[in-house]
Copies of this chain bind each other. A is one copy, B any other.
Amino acid sequence: MLTDFVKSIPPEKEAMKAELKTEREKLANASMKIKGAKLPVMVIFEGWGAAGKGSVIASVIKNIDPRFFEVATTHAEPTVEEKRKPFLYRYFIEIPEAGQFKFFDTCWMREVTDGILDGTLSEQDYARRVQSINITERQLTDNGYLVMKFFFNISKKEQSKRLNALLADKNTKWRVNKDDIWENAHYKESQKVYDKYLSDTNRSTAPWYIIDAKDKEWAELQVLRFLNQGIDTALKNHSLAVPILQNAFPLKQMPLLKDIPLDKSLTDEEYKAELKLLQARLHDLHYKLYRKKIPVIIAYEGWDAAGKGGNIKRITGALDPRGYVVHPIASPEPHEKARHYLWRFWKRLPKTGHVAIFDRTWYGRVMVERLEGFCSENDWQRAYNEMNEFEKELYDWGAVIIKFWVQIDNQTQLQRFTDRQNTPEKQWKITDEDWRNREKWDLYEGAVNDMIQKTSTAFAPWHILESVDKKYARIKALRIVISELEKACKER
């Protein structure tokens, strides 16, 4: 890529001044348009030390009203806390909201190329991170984000000249760090690594723009040209449906809901005895996975009144409260709705060694959001693959992912609803909305079947909990959780 770079042709001095003026005005106007179109714009600056990224960012943002942009606060190095999350976590939580620019002075590229250069990242981990980055950039684009990536390129000689000039002045000396000096001394080696990364992540949905950064004004003009072009294109695409991707994950064959026998049950005695034994085992396992730093994600979906809450309690009852969180998921708040729909789940990911239990999940996208029209048809059709990719990302990070569908039949729900209605201390549990949803049972059943068929991947399949007898469902859940955690503890 770098080597492949076709030389840029800067305009003459006067023409440059005139064009800079035009392009700056274009950007000022564009920022109103992206607000109107609710387009989120992620602008990533990477490149050589002392190539002038910071000063071009400073010039570019002067054209935008401060209400319409933010500069990301990501550090070059992840903190100790951040190291206990998936690699992308600290970047993904920074994505802009709809109608806003977010500028990144280095982003996920820097961490990856640094890892290669200082030898802390294996070839295999490099390949995995490149894959994660490519999937994430594509998912952002598919979900209506504009992702612009600039690489500021200068020669070894030019970099050396700039570093020396900075070092010579006591007011600017502090701006040169030892990484910059190392990079210049190992220019060729670094170039090879950057080159490879640029080519590995040069996808058509989020291509790299190599900026010839020898001259500051020309660098700014190149950035403005590409940024304005990119915004034009993104605004044109904004209302378009995105082609659905082919499924590329091995899937487990799953039964349809109607074919699942629901007559399984346990006696009270069986239940009590089993519960005690299993909770004790899970209790011990929890410490083991804490020591082995295995992150665990347990996802619950199911019919209203199927018994999710009670089921979750039997799991958490066995866990050390310092090591788990239950996330009840309601409809998204405005600041959540303004971002990629998985953003609020990224924010809630557990640290390594911890358990996160989701009471309702990201699968809302293909159930309630699908059926109530809270997202477009294209959005939910795309979501099966996006959620498989999301879970693959977590699986590759090392997470154990357990997904439960808590299943009851229509008649059982009616009984439980009626019981709730008629029992004063249970009345808070039943709302008009529950009754309205109930009327759409058949539609929901279709959506759930689609979901289970399309997202039972080999690495994160659905488990059905037959919950007409809640006791049976609780014991089955405990057994599955224990078996999955034991498997994971054995493998690490």
Chain A residues with CB under 8 Å of chain B are: 3, 6-9, 11, 19, 124, 127, 131, 135, 138, 141, 148, 199-200, 203-205, 207-209, 226, 229-230, 233-234, 236-237, 240-250, 252-253, 378, 381, 457-459
Contact = CB atoms under 8 A, between A and B. Distances in A.
Contact of A250 (B9, B19, B236): B9
Q: Which 5 A-B residue pairs are closest in the complex by CB-CB distance? A: A207-B248, A237-B243, A6-B458, A230-B246, A233-B246
**Copies in the assembly, this chain:** 2
30 contacts: A3-B124, A6-B250, A6-B457, A6-B458, A6-B459, A7-B250, A7-B458, A8-B250, A9-B250, A9-B252, A9-B458, A11-B253, A19-B253, A127-B199, A131-B199, A138-B204, A141-B243, A200-B200, A203-B203, A204-B245, A205-B245, A207-B248, A226-B246, A229-B247, A233-B245, A234-B246, A240-B240, A240-B242, A240-B378, A242-B243
A395 to B, nearest CB: 9
Contacts of A241: 240-241
Nearest to A247: B229
Contacts of A457: 6
Given A127-B199, A240-B243, 10 more contacts: A3-B124, A7-B250, A8-B250, A9-B252, A19-B253, A205-B243, A207-B248, A226-B246, A229-B246, A240-B241
Nearest to A248: B207
A236 B458 contact: no
A208 B459 contact: no
A207 B3 CA distance: 28
A415 to B, nearest CB: 35
Nearest to A139: B204
Contacts of A245: 204-205, 207, 233
Contacts of A246: 148, 207, 226, 229-230, 233-234
Nearest to A249: B6
Nearest to A8: B250
A366 to B, nearest CB: 15
A138 B250 CA distance: 23
Nearest to A207: B248
A371 B179 CA distance: 55
Nearest to A141: B243
A3 B123 CA distance: 13
Contacts of A204: 135, 138, 245, 248
